[in-house]
Amino acid sequence: MPVDTIALRRILQSCRTIAVVGLSAEWHRPSYFAAKYMQSHGYRILPVNPRYAGSSVLGMACVARLEDLDEPVDMVDVFRRSEDVGAIADSAIALGAKCLWQQIGVVNREADARARAAGLDSVMDRCVKIEHARVFGGLHWAGVNTGVISARRMG
């Protein structure tokens, strides 16, 4: 099932807390780009990466695994290899997340199907930052075809 602009807008408006699995602390990595952008747009970013567990990334305490989080999560955003997503999807379902999001290049169809069967929204092979910017007009800046046609100001 393709995820259209309307669905993306609903997902990105309803999910406010995002656990970013595989978030790097290096500024030039895509995961850092995306999480920093989402944080600056008001989302609560929860870093998940064993490499930085116990320290902080983007000013937020980093944990090793999703199970180590001690607060509710709306979205689990995955920057890991496709074959690792199955276990992450199961954790996301167990945590009661509303959305499983696999980043560009991350495609695990079984995990996608399991998440959907459990009632979660599921997005594959897309960047959360790019889609946020596209559906809310921000990518217009870069000459991107946002698909936004409207006679109202962008709020």
Partner 1 sequence: MSDRKFQPETLAIHAGQIPDAATGARALPIYQTTSFVFDSAEHAASLFNLQTFGNIYSRLSNPTVAALEERVAALEAGRAAVASASGMAAEAMALMTLLQSGDHVVAAGALYGGTVTMLAVSLAKFGIEVTFVDAQRPEAFAAAMRPNTRAVYAETLGNPSLVVLDIAAVAEVAHAHGVPLVVDNTVPSPYLCNPLALGADIVVHSATKYLAGHGTTLGGVMVEGGKFPWDNGKFPGMTEPSAGYHGVKFYETFGDFGFSMRARMETLRVYGASLSPMSAWQILQGVETLPLRMERHCRNALAVAVFLRSHPRVAWVNYPGLADHAQHALVLRQMRQVDGVPGASGLLAFGVKGGVAQGVKFIESARFMSHLVNIGDTRTLISHPASTTHRQLDEAQQLAAGVLPDMVRISVGLEHIDDILWDIDQALSATLD
Please report, as ranges, the residues that interact with partner 1 according to CB under 8 A: 4-6, 27-28, 30, 32-33, 36-37, 40, 104-105, 126-127, 130, 133, 137-154
Quick check: 103 and 30 in contact, CB under 8 A?
yes
Per DSSP, which regions of 7-137 are E strands?
Answer: 17-21, 44-48, 56-57, 60-61, 75-78, 99-102, 121-123
d(CA 71, CA 61): 12
The nearest distance, CB 148 to partner 1, in angstroms, is 6
The nearest distance, CB 43 to partner 1, in angstroms, is 14
Nearer to partner 1, 119 or 152 (CB): 152
Nearer to partner 1, 114 or 132 (CB): 132
d(CA 78, CA 59): 19
Backbone torsions φ then ψ of 16, nearest 5 degrees: -115, -25
Nearer to partner 1, 72 or 105 (CB): 105
Quick check: 35 and 58 in contact, CB under 8 A?
yes
What separation, in Å, do the N-terminal and C-terminal C-alpha atoms of the chain show? 29
Nearer to partner 1, 94 or 107 (CB): 107
The nearest distance, CB 91 to partner 1, in angstroms, is 25
Nearer to partner 1, 37 or 101 (CB): 37
The nearest distance, CB 56 to partner 1, in angstroms, is 17
The nearest distance, CB 106 to partner 1, in angstroms, is 12
DSSP classification of residue 63: B
User: For residue 23, how far is the Cα from the chain centroid?
Assistant: 11
